[in-house]
Every structure is written in C-alpha cells, then in structure tokens.
Amino acid sequence: MTQQGEGRRFRLPVLQGVLPVDRAGLTRDVLAGLTLAALAIPGTMGYTKIIGTPVITGLYTILIPMALFAVFGSSRHLSVGADSATAAVVAAGLAGLAVRGSNEWLALCSLLALIAGVLMFAARVLRLGFLADFLSRTVLVGFLTGVGVQVALLEVSGMLGLQRTSNDPLLEIVHDLRLIGDSNAYAVCVSLAVVAVILGCRRISERVPGGLIAVVGAIGISWALALDAHLETLGAVPSGLPTLGLPQVEWSWPLLQKLLPIAFACFVVILAQSAATSRAYAAKYSDRFDENVDMVGLGMANLGAGLSGTFIVNGSPTNTAMVDGGGGRSQVAQLTTCVLVLLVLLFLTGPLAHLPTAVLSSIVFLVAVKMIDIQGMRRIYVQARAEFWVALLTAATVVVVGVEQGILLAMVLSLLDHVRRGYRGNNSVIAADKKHKGWLTVPLGEARQIAPGLLAYWFTNSLYYANAGQFAEEVLQLAKARGEVPLRCVCVQAAAIGDVDFSAAAMLRDTSKLLEGQGISLVFAHVSPAVREQFDRYGLTAVFGADAFYGSLRAVVDAWEHMQDATGASSPTSAGDTPQV
C-alpha cells in the first residue's frame, strides 16, 4: 500500500455531522440549538441530583463533550449530554466507594467517564459497533422503565423537602411515607408548582421550554420572597470554565477493578442507546450513519467529560428529539447550544444560588416518569407475551437489585432470547403443488414427496451444536414416512444455512450413514460457497460425493426425473451430471 493510500485509510474523520453545511437551513439549526439550550440546561442540572455531583457539572456535560461529539461523530442528529440511565448506573455503582457529593465522589465520576471513553475507543478498534444489535428492544424497554421507576422513587424525598437516607428506591420511599408528616410545606408547594408549569407547557407544545420557565420563575420568586430561609437552595454556584486535568484520585489496580464493571455497564447503555437513536434519525432523513465512527465521537465526548471534571455522557434520545422538533438537521444545532452554555457559565451562574433544590427534584421526577414506558410494556404484553415477562424481570431487577445488575441481566436475557428464537429453525418440507403447477411448503408431519421417491427438506438456520440434533431427528423421521413410492433420496434445501460447525459436521456424517443403511441418499441444493468450503474442510464432500451438490432445487428435481425416466436409478446423479454450484 502506498503512503498516500495509508494516509487516506487512517485519516481521522471529523465534522461528518456538520459538513456539508446546509446554508438554507443554517438559521433553522441555530434556532433548534436555542431550543435545546432552553430545555437541556435545567434538565442537565437535574441529572446532577441523580448522580450526586455539584449542579455546575451538569452544565459542563454540555460544554466540551457535546462539542467533541459534534466534531468527531458521524450522526448529524444525535445529541450527546447527561443522561438519567447512565447517571443512575454511576450513582448505584459508586455507593459505598466514597461519600456522595464529596470531592472524591466527583473524582470517581470523572474517572469513570475516562474509562468509558477508553472502552469506546477499544470497541472502535475491534469494530464492536454490532454489539448494539444484541440488546433487544424488549429488554431495553424493560431496563429504561426500571430506571424510570427507580429514579422517580428516589426523587420523592427531595420534592417533599426531606433528606435522602438511602440509594435503595424501595427503602427510600418507605422512609418518605413514614416521615411524610414532617414534609417541608414550602418545598411541597414549589414542587407542585413546577410539575404544573412543566405539564401545562407540554400540553401547549413540546417546544415550549417548561423546565426553563419553571427554573427562572422559581429563582425569581425565591429571591423576592427570601425562600432560602425556609427551604434548601443550591447556594453559591461557581462561575467560569471547568479546570482541565486528570481526576485527583489515588490510582490503583484494586480501584480499577471496582470501577471497570460500572464503566462497562455504562458502555453497554451508551452503545445501545446512542446507536439506536442515531439509526432511527438517519433512517428518517436518509442520512449517512456509521456507528463505529460514532463510537469515536462518544469516546472523545467522555474523555472530554473526564478531563473537565464532570461525569459520563451518553447519546440522549430526549435531547435528540428536542433538536429534531426544533427543526435541527445537523450538529450546528448542538454547537449553538455549546456556545449558549458557555455564556451561562461566564455570566449567569449567580442567580442559580437562589434556586430551590426541590425544583431540580421535580424536573428529574418528571423526566423519570416519562421514561416509564407503560404503553411499550402493554404492547409487548399483547403482542409477545413471553417477551413481556423478560422485560418485566429486567425492570424489576433494576428497581429491586440495582441498575448495574439490571443492564447486565438485560444483556444476558437479550442473548438468551436471540438463541431461543434462532437455534431451532421453523423447518418444513417442499412439496409439489399440482393445482398451480409449482411448489409449496408443508409441515414436516405431512412428509410429501416433491417427486416420486424424492423428498425436499428445508432447513431454515445455520447448523451448529445446538440444533444439529434437531436436523438429524427431523431428517430420520422423514425417512421413516411412508409414501406412494418408497423414499430413495432426501434433498436438503440449504439456502438458509450460513455456517456449519464441527459438531454439525459430525452429525451430517452420522446421519448420512444411517440413511445409506436404509437405501436413501442425501444431496444438497443452494449450498453457498462459504459453506461448501466448510464441507471440504470437514471432509463432508468426500462423504457425500462431489456430485451431491446442486445450484438449485429445480436442478435436483430435473436430474431425479431424468434418471427415473432413463434408467430407473435411485439417485438423482450420475457420472455424467455436472454439479450446478
């Protein structure tokens, strides 16, 4: 390869989400960025309540991480920032490793962001973007529903003006119910007002920044009425830009061993949620999208988060929908949001000191409630009852055991669901349709011959150790079926067989011998070149004979009928036949 060719191959792709710039839509993108800023700023501050970091770190998640993804990602639509799912994973995982809200806690959050970024880069090098496909929609619905329930329950204490005493949602809600008589009346009124404002704005339009209106109104009322004397407020919020540098923690292998499972759980959530969101909007607008390039963007975003003293960021379906609803069609909208957050950090952090913490608890509570996908769960229950119980088990695990365990269970259940569906094919027999002079599929129980003495068996999956027994059992059962003419040949329609493993090869060898003992030959149609190479490697071609492979089922039937008419032979092949592969 030439140096020029190597340069093209290893060139770092940038600004794929921005270029080419649509000049006609530039104003629309900027306005969408303004909308996102109005809606995301209070939301990101609310996420700091979930994860237990200073409120300013919520704004930091927008400033550098969002800009880095806009530069290095491929999606023109995905909005990256703080996310309730990953925030819940981090908060649950770090419990017991540091005091919530302390400097050490924040440093560990930033370290997790760095580790997640490294995992993203490793996944890009290994081209693991396909892993996002192995988290089924069913378990994702259950997982996000469980996260929504957990987060909502944990925020009730803040809405009532009570101190949180546990990270266990069930224990915390029991504690809140016991002390409900000690609730802070001011906090309760503020919470009800915030909920009313946000829900009222949603009824008018999703584009109305209900969260921002609630935050600004609460700050003004709190300052005018001196509410900080009656309920908890944020207090002084530092202004200025974040300090760049590595998290101040004592690096050690035991610490990394504790953090790696948490970071991996976040990595899985980020990969699945971001890829699903990017894919949906790329399909909607027929845009290009490369999930492997997006992993570079997400890795850079999390490195930026870790080095700027904030926490893990994720592709946000909520923020992405906000941009899309505002008319944004490129990362210019997200870059506009970054500029606005920069102005807030430099000039507008002072008024945040008067913001009641109950406001943020109320915002997070509504975000969490929106995550509880009751309609999705109901739809799964109606359309796929078995999958509903999988989704419900995932949600229950998140609430009762923990978010980290929930995402790991979601991965396992997704793979088990895939294996359950895929390893046993819905196989059938291809028979002659005399009425329409063609072919049709019939259940295995009918065992109808496609031609006198010839039966066509359609196996609809790859052959491997888990379903090799099914193949052998069904073929041998078909060989026992009685027809008008004794069975002399079984043709395997192999178009769906994409792979044959060692165990399946041994099964084919044994099955062929058993059929030969009954005077029945075994031939194959539509064997792909890759599978034919596997047959050669396993020695199966020598077992069946090179003339046992045909390019189509029609070729098998024609050869069989020709041999029957000409010689009455019991095999569809002869020395003069040429395999059509």
pLDDT per residue as tens digits for the range 349-373 = 889 889 898 998 898 888 788 878 8
Q: Is the dihedral of CA 220, 226, 227, 229 positive or negative?
A: positive
Q: Interhelix angle for 26-51 vs 317-325, to 10°? A: 150
Residue with tokens 């079984």: 490
Written as one string, the DSSP assignment of 116-145 is HHHHHHHHHHTT-GGGGGGS-HHHHHHHHH
Tell me how crowded residue 517 is: count the other CB atoms within 10 A of its CB.
8
- Distance (Å, rounded) from C-alpha 357 to C-alpha 161? 9
The rounded Cα 528 to chain-centroid distance in angstroms is 31
The answer to which of 11-15, 178-182, 290-294 has the lowest mean pLDDT is 11-15
Question: Residue 247 has which token pair?
Answer: 């998290």
* 575 pLDDT more than 90: no
Q: Which amino acid is at 351?
A: P
Model confidence pLDDT, tens digit, residues 523-532: 999 999 999 9
Q: Which residues pair with 550 in a beta bridge?
A: 525
Give the DSSP per-residue string, 499-548: -B-HHHHHHHHHHHHHHHHTT-EEEEES--HHHHHHHHHHTHHHHH-GGG
First to last CA, the chain: 35
| Most confident residue range from 153-167, 421-435, 558-572 | 153-167
pLDDT category at 23 given cuts 50, 70, 90 is: confident
- 500: β partners: 463
The pTM score is 0.69
CA distance 80 to 302: 10
Q: Does residue 107 have a pLDDT over 60?
A: yes
Tokens of 17: 């989400």
Q: What is the pLDDT of residues 31-67, one digit of tens each?
A: 889 878 887 888 898 889 889 999 999 999 999 999 9
Helices (H) and strands (E) in the chain, counts: 22, 8
Give 521's strand partners: 489
pLDDT at 574: 41
Three-state secondary structure of 451-471: ECCEEEEECCCCECCCCHHHH
**Two tokens, residue 147:** 């996260």
Which of 13-17, 181-185, 350-354 reaches the highest mean pLDDT? 181-185
Q: Is the per-residue pLDDT at 3 higher than 60?
A: no
Q: Buried (b) or exposed (e) across 348-369, using 16+ Cβ within 10 A?
A: ebeebebbbbbbbbbbbbbbbe
- How far apart CA 113 and CA 116 sit, in angstroms, is 5
Q: Which residue in 124, 30, 46, 22 sits closest to 361, CA to CA?
A: 46
pLDDT digits (tens, 9 = 90+) for 482-525: 877 899 999 999 999 999 999 999 999 999 999 999 999 999 99
CA–CA separation, 140 and 373 (whole Å): 10
Within 8 A by CB and 6+ apart from 435, the residues are none
Which three-class secondary structure string do you get for 372-387?
A: CCHHHHHHHHHHCHHH
Residue 408 half-sphere exposure, CB side, CA atoms within 13 Å? Answer: 12
Rounded CA-CA distance 253/259 in Å is 10
Q: At CA 339, angle to CA 336 and CA 343, rounded to 5?
A: 140
Q: Is the pLDDT of residue 183 over 80?
A: yes
